[in-house]
Chain A
């Protein structure tokens, strides 16, 4: 039965000792320990928060980078397309211009050739005429070079006139 009867001595010492432990630990151990744990928890929390923030920022940055990149790509494509179009237009225009020019040249040449030809034909005609006159002159001169011949001619001509 002694087991369940609290002894006075132990009760006394227990109250004294436990109170001393409690007050010393409360002031010099629990307070600083709990404060430090709390402080550390706060700092860990804020560190985690800032890490999360940084991650988010990074994500935003990446997203905006991607956007800029896509924009640049689109712009480049547009520029290239425009350049290609311009090139084609210029080439086509040049081709057309060259064609009209050459056509014009050909026509001009043809015209010149025609006129030259006409001139040449005309001159040829003149020369032939001159030559024929010369020839005729020479032939006449020869026919009428002696009195006999002139008389013969006269008589011929007279004969023809008589007939008429």
Chain B
């Protein structure tokens, strides 16, 4: 067992080393793309100072309509993604994102403004700088494009389905055999979620909530890991660090908590037994707020942790180019330090990937557990809850 863990550690280390080198290579390509072609008029060292780490990081963290892999401007290697727009007036529009030509042209009466698609008044105008925005139409334009994050989401959905349907098949085949392959990788985590998360936090009725907890756990875990993989389209997105994704996950936890809550739960919120009325006047609003606040914190925690991890990793890489602009030597010198730091951060992020999946699942389980908890007053449990709220 011990040896297996060792090889796993070694493999994951090599894995991180591999992808840090890869991402270094991709950024290098990006920086190279900067200098010569795009600004031929100003191909001086001063022009190279255009490298803007803030823009780079924001672009990576935020969603986008294409999959930018390497390079910049005309040289960029990017994968176009389908854009799907619907409005009552114009109906359904589906086309690829490269039609916008990085925001330089309009298409079908739409143009890219900043990171948003807006409707324009002039249907025939090709130059996006001349087309004027149709504010009224933009306001009720439904944009369900397959953006970078949606693409990553769909890919991770396929990975999850493939992974667990394969594992389920293995279980059906050899019911009482020892697990092997993917099954032996997944089973300890399933057991962990069941024994250490669900059983401990929910109690005897945990089985009903296992499918949700397992799905959430592996969804976050797999997407956190995919977010660490650079270059390959569909990976390296900041999906679990996107507020919309976190909102849906936390919203589902809230929904399940509310659906399954019992009288005991609400009694504790509106009139905590054993608390004098003057205190209740203060406590009850806090408790009511807590019902919504807990999932809200759940959302913010996941969003902030994953986003911060991506920002730090990219910031270390940006250091190379910031130093590189001072002098080439400093750039190479900084790259050594940056790679070391990024390897370290990558290892940290692997831990965080698991930890955040665990924390999200654990807190969801605790909230569900507190909603379905029956019977007598239990001070210890409340103390535990509020302690975990601080995590």
Q: In whole angstroms, how far apart are the Cα atoms of A156 and B160 in the complex?
A: 179
Number of interface residues of A (CB under 8 A): 34
Question: Across the interface, do A4 and B168 meet the contact criterion of CB distance under 8 Å?
Answer: no
Question: Across the interface, do A25 and B161 meet the contact criterion of CB distance under 8 Å?
Answer: yes
Question: Across the interface, do B61 and A11 meet the contact criterion of CB distance under 8 Å?
Answer: no
Q: In whole angstroms, how far apart are the Cα atoms of A7 and B243 in the complex?
A: 8
Question: Across the interface, do A34 and B194 meet the contact criterion of CB distance under 8 Å?
Answer: yes
Interface SS, B side: helix
Interchain nearest-CB distance for A67 vs B (Å): 39
Given A3-B61, A3-B307, also A22-B190 (CB < 8 A): no
Q: What residues on A are CB-neighbors of B167 within 8 Å?
A: 29, 33
In the complex, residue of chain B having the shortest beta-carbon distance to the beta carbon of A6: B244
Question: Across the interface, do B164 and A25 meet the contact criterion of CB distance under 8 Å?
Answer: yes
In the complex, residue of chain A having the shortest beta-carbon distance to the beta carbon of B117: A9
B187 interface residue (CB < 8 Å to A): yes
B247 interface residue (CB < 8 Å to A): yes
- Give residues of chain A (1-55) contacting chain B, Cβ–Cβ below 8 Å: 2-15, 17-18, 20-22, 24-26, 28-34, 36-37, 39-40, 43
Of the listed residues A10, A15, A24, the one surrounded by the most CB atoms of chain B closer than 10 A to its CB is: A10
Question: Across the interface, do A18 and B252 meet the contact criterion of CB distance under 8 Å?
Answer: yes
Q: What residues on A are CB-neighbors of B157 within 8 Å?
A: 17, 20-21
Question: Across the interface, do B215 and A10 meet the contact criterion of CB distance under 8 Å?
Answer: no
Question: Across the interface, do A3 and B154 meet the contact criterion of CB distance under 8 Å?
Answer: no
B175 interface residue (CB < 8 Å to A): yes
Interchain nearest-CB distance for A152 vs B (Å): 156
Given A20-B157, A33-B171, also A9-B211 (CB < 8 A): no
Interchain nearest-CB distance for A90 vs B (Å): 71
Q: In whole angstroms, how far apart are the Cα atoms of A84 and B172 in the complex?
A: 74
Q: What residues on B are CB-neighbors of A10 within 8 Å?
A: 63, 147, 149-150, 153, 242, 244-245
Question: Across the interface, do A25 and B215 meet the contact criterion of CB distance under 8 Å?
Answer: yes
Interchain nearest-CB distance for A7 vs B (Å): 6
Question: Across the interface, do A33 and B168 meet the contact criterion of CB distance under 8 Å?
Answer: yes
Interchain nearest-CB distance for B253 vs A (Å): 12
Q: What residues on A are CB-neighbors of B153 within 8 Å?
A: 10, 13-14, 17
B191 interface residue (CB < 8 Å to A): yes
Q: In whole angstroms, how far apart are the Cα atoms of A2 and B113 in the complex?
A: 13
In the complex, residue of chain A having the shortest beta-carbon distance to the beta carbon of B241: A3
Query: Which of B8-16, B69-77, B138-146 touches A?
Result: B138-146
Interchain nearest-CB distance for B369 vs A (Å): 18
B165 interface residue (CB < 8 Å to A): yes
Q: In whole angstroms, how far apart are the Cα atoms of A30 and B194 in the complex?
A: 11
Question: Across the interface, do A6 and B143 meet the contact criterion of CB distance under 8 Å?
Answer: no
Interchain nearest-CB distance for A151 vs B (Å): 159
Q: Of B115, B144, B211, which contacts A22 at CB under 8 A?
A: B211
Interchain nearest-CB distance for A32 vs B (Å): 5
Interchain nearest-CB distance for A49 vs B (Å): 16
8 A-B Cβ contacts within 8 A? A7-B143, A8-B143, A10-B242, A17-B153, A18-B252, A21-B160, A25-B215, A36-B172
Instruction: Give B residues with C-beta under 8 Å from A.
Output: 58, 61-63, 84, 115, 142-147, 149-150, 153-154, 157, 160-161, 164-165, 167-168, 171-172, 175-176, 187, 190-191, 194, 207, 210-212, 214-215, 219, 242-245, 247-249, 252, 303, 307
Q: Which 6 A-B pairs have the closest CB atoms?
A: A6-B244, A29-B164, A26-B211, A36-B171, A10-B244, A29-B168
